């Protein structure tokens, strides 16, 4: 069975359980079970290669003891074990035992078992056991799992869980080109897409055990939501990180002025949450000129602060950041005074489909010298493509166009340069259209009609799904 088939089977089983209410709970239920399965596989590896390894989990709580036998614990006996033994013990582990205990406790602090039916629970376990996490040919398996979960349980996107396309994370990492020994941070790391890309990029430079240790100590992430934090921790373990440096926290909680030289990093790669607002009081951690509740704006201000001199960053930001005024303008002014904002790659519609239709941009900058000119590059659709979707996502090969242009910059139909003076005249509005494409901006009548029909069909499809859900609920 394919990975998508496994996830669909798990979803279908969980739908029958009275305790699991909605897509978000189904995802949460699924990922803590995936974590324990993967942790068990890693422990078997550590016990072979580490002479002094001691598991923080007692033998009766290990996945192998209660889950691996497809005819093992089930029914009420299984639920009694999960609710009254497994979860209380994992939530109350002694973190002084070893670093692994700290990781387990951190991921289970706000994790819950929602399932009530032990027979259905056993069926889910058996489906999970069919997934081979040790298959080296599946280097991006966990990213695929997460994307599959979101695709199959699409309403999770409505709750703000967006998967950054692999092509985007890969391109940004390739351009920033992190080096062994540099400190790499994602302050809003989600499930760890940028962190795993960085690991794979830097790992090519690793030749000794000492260098392997340097890599392990140089990559860290912060994530405030429990489920993505759990997914990220698991993701890094699958990428060979025995002790993932992923903290569950909100980086915006700390006062802006408290971030000092010791906190600064060489590289930041991130897609901070956009379209959302922070809880009351968070904005007071920032200087008055930067105070806003918009999450993406606060993160941009913080990223500028966190970079070392000559540090480099690549950040995904929405169009709203580019053209917004007020606080947005003051943050952009700070960015261009403290950093060289040398490139903005403008992505077309649909890159983040089906999770959000918000248009996005990739900002590349270096701290230490002010901006003089900003280069723009408008990423085109591949020939024959009018938009991206879940069956035809963006491909990394598309960025060969940008890569070929990057070190030999000339204006062309996709690229143009804007001076700082012009940007100042526009009131720091960075939403500057491609001067070479303005003539073609208005779609043909046929294209407009096709788009209208496509939108109409999408609306009809959504309506049919809603009607079916209501019918199922009333049965």
For the residues 302-327, what does the mean pLDDT come to?
93
Question: Does 396 lie in the same domain as 344?
Answer: yes
Q: Phi and psi at residue 267, in whole multiples of 5°?
A: -135, 135
Question: Does 167 lie in the same domain as 283?
Answer: yes
Residue 410 predicted with pLDDT over 90: yes
Last residue of a domain, one of 71, 106, 134: 134
Question: Does 428 lie in the same domain as 454?
Answer: no
Residue 469 predicted with pLDDT over 80: no
Range(s) of the domain holding residue 460:
445-474
For the residues 64-75, what does the mean pLDDT come to?
94
Question: Does 73 lie in the same domain as 105?
Answer: yes
Question: Does 199 lie in the same domain as 89?
Answer: no
Alpha-carbon distance of 400 to 411, in angstroms, equals 17
Sign of the alpha-carbon torsion through 334, 339, 342, 343: negative
- The count of domains in the chain is 3
Question: Does 255 lie in the same domain as 148?
Answer: yes
- For position 275, what pLDDT does the model report? 72
- For position 146, what pLDDT does the model report? 59
Name the most confidently modeled range: 17-26, 113-122, 163-172, 444-453.
Answer: 113-122
Q: What CATH number is attached to the domain comprising 75?
A: 1.20.1260.30
- Detail the DSSP E strand segments found in 64-155: none
Name the most confidently modeled range: 36-40, 83-87, 155-159, 461-465.
Answer: 83-87
Q: Name the maximum alpha-carbon separation found in the chain.
A: 72
Question: Does 125 lie in the same domain as 219?
Answer: no
Q: Buried (b) or exposed (e) across 420-437, using 16+ Cβ within 10 A?
A: beebeeeebbbebebeee
Residue 407 predicted with pLDDT over 70: yes
- For position 166, what pLDDT does the model report? 87
For the residues 252-271, what does the mean pLDDT come to?
94
**Block residue for tokens 């396309």:** 165
Name the most confidently modeled range: 161-165, 213-217, 375-379.
Answer: 375-379
Q: Among 16-20, 293-297, 301-305, 466-470, whose mean pLDDT is lowest?
A: 466-470
Measure Cα distances from 102 to 24, 58, 82, 189 in Å. 25, 15, 20, 19
> Strand, helix or coil at 113?
coil
Instruction: Tell me which of 268 and 464 has the higher pLDDT.
Output: 268
For the residues 223-248, what does the mean pLDDT come to?
85
- For position 280, what pLDDT does the model report? 84
- For position 139, what pLDDT does the model report? 45
Q: Among 2-6, 38-42, 365-369, 419-423, whose mean pLDDT is lowest?
A: 2-6
- For position 352, what pLDDT does the model report? 77
> pLDDT band at 155, cuts 50/70/90?
very low
Q: For residues 186 and 270, is the Cβ–Cβ distance under 8 A?
A: yes
For the residues 287-301, what does the mean pLDDT come to?
92
Q: Among 121-125, 155-159, 305-309, 438-442, whose mean pLDDT is lowest?
A: 155-159
Alpha-carbon distance of 338 to 367, in angstroms, equals 6
Residues of the chain with pLDDT > 90, as a percent, come to: 55
- For position 457, what pLDDT does the model report? 67
Q: What CATH number is attached to the domain comprising 268?
A: 3.40.50.150
- For position 376, what pLDDT does the model report? 97
- For position 48, what pLDDT does the model report? 87
- For position 268, what pLDDT does the model report? 98
- For position 267, what pLDDT does the model report? 98
Question: Does 320 lie in the same domain as 270?
Answer: yes
For the residues 292-308, what does the mean pLDDT come to?
94
Please state at what angle helix 141-152 crosses helix 23-49, rounded to 10 degrees. 170
- For position 337, what pLDDT does the model report? 96
Q: DSSP readout, 12-73?
A: HHHHT-TT--SHHHHHHHHHHHHHHHHHHHHHHHHHHH-TT---SS-GGGSHHHHTSSTTSS
Residue-wise pLDDT for 172-224, tens only, equals 999 999 999 999 999 999 888 899 999 999 999 999 989 999 999 999 999 98
Q: DSSP readout, 409-454?
A: ----SSEEEEEHHHHHHTTS------TTTGGG-SPPHHHHHHHHHH
Residue 147 predicted with pLDDT over 70: no
Closest CA to 6 of 132, 169, 192, 137: 132
- For position 57, what pLDDT does the model report? 92
- For position 232, what pLDDT does the model report? 86
Residue 361 predicted with pLDDT over 80: yes
Taken as a whole, the chain contains a residue count of 475
Closest CA to 196 of 213, 172, 160: 172
Question: Does 85 lie in the same domain as 230?
Answer: no
Alpha-carbon distance of 367 to 305, in angstroms, equals 9
Instruction: Tell me which of 292 and 175 has the higher pLDDT.
Output: 175
> Strand, helix or coil at 344?
strand
Question: Does 394 lie in the same domain as 320?
Answer: yes
- For position 397, what pLDDT does the model report? 94
> pLDDT band at 462, cuts 50/70/90?
low
Q: Phi and psi at residue 316, in whole multiples of 5°?
A: -85, 125
271 is written with which tokens? 């897609």
Question: Does 387 lie in the same domain as 467?
Answer: no
Question: Does 288 lie in the same domain as 149?
Answer: yes
For the residues 412-439, what does the mean pLDDT come to?
90
Residues of the chain with pLDDT > 70, as a percent, come to: 85
- For position 61, what pLDDT does the model report? 94
- For position 156, what pLDDT does the model report? 44
For the residues 116-144, what does the mean pLDDT come to?
78
- For position 118, what pLDDT does the model report? 96
Other residues' Cβ atoms within 10 Å of the Cβ of residue 11: 20
Last residue of a domain, one of 134, 155, 180: 134
Mean pLDDT over all residues of the chain?
A: 86
How far is C-alpha 460 from the geometric centre of its chain's CA atoms? Answer: 31
Other residues' Cβ atoms within 10 Å of the Cβ of residue 24: 17
- For position 160, what pLDDT does the model report? 46
């Amino acid at each position: 069975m394919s990975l998508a088939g496994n996830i669909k089977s798990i979803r279908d089983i969980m739908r029958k359980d009275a305790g699991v209410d909605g897509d978000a709970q189904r995802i949460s239920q699924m990922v803590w079970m995936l974590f324990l399965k993967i942790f068990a596989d890693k422990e078997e590896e550590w016990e072979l290669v580490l002479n002094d390894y001691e598991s923080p989990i007692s033998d009766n709580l290990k996945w192998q003891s209660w889950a691996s036998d497809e005819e093992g614990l089930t029914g009420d006996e299984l639920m009694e074990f999960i609710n009254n033994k497994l979860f209380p013990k994992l939530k109350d582990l002694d973190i002084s035992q070893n670093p692994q205990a700290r990781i387990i406790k951190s991921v289970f602090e706000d994790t819950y078992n929602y399932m009530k039916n032990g027979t259905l629970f056993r069926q889910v376990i058996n489906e999970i056991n069919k997934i081979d996490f040790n298959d080296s040919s599946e280097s991006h398996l966990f990213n695929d799992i997460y994307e599959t979960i979101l695709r199959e349980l699409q309403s999770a996107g409505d709750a703000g869980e967006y998967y950054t396309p692999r092509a985007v994370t890969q391109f940004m990492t390739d351009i920033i080109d992190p080096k062994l020994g540099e400190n790499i941070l994602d302050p809003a790391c989600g499930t760890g897409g940028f962190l795993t890309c960085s690991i794979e990029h830097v790992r090519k430079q690793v030749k000794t055990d000492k260098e392997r240790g340097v890599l392990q100590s140089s990559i860290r992430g912060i994530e405030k939501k429990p489920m993505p934090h759990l997914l990220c921790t698991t993701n890094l373990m699958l990428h060979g990180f025995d002790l993932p440096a992923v903290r569950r926290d909100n980086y915006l909680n700390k006062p802006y002025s408290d971030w000092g030289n010791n906190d600064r990093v060489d590289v930041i790669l991130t897609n901070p949450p956009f379209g959302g607002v922070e809880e009351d009081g968070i904005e007071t951690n920032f200087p008055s000129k930067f105070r806003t509740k918009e999450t993406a704006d606060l993160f941009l201000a913080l990223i500028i602060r966190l970079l070392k001199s000559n540090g480099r960053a690549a950040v995904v930001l929405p169009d709203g950041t580019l053209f917004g005024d007020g606080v947005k303008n003051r943050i952009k002014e700070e960015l261009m005074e403290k950093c060289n904002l040398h490139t903005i790659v403008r992505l077309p519609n649909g890159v983040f489909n089906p999770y959000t239709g918000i248009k996005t941009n990739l900002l590349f900058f270096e701290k230490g010298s002010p901006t003089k000119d900003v280069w723009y590059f408008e990423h085109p659709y591949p020939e024959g493509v009018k938009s991206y979707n879940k069956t035809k996502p963006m491909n990394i090969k598309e960025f060969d166009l940008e890569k070929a242009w990057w070190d030999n910059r000339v204006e062309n139909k996709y690229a143009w340069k804007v001076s700082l003076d012009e940007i100042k005249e526009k009131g720091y509005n960075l939403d500057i259209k491609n001067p070479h494409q303005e003539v073609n901006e208005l779609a043909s009548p046929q294209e407009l009609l096709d788009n209208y029909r496509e939108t109409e069909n999408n609306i009809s499809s959504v309506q049919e799904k809603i009607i079916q859900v209501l019918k199922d609920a009333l049965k």
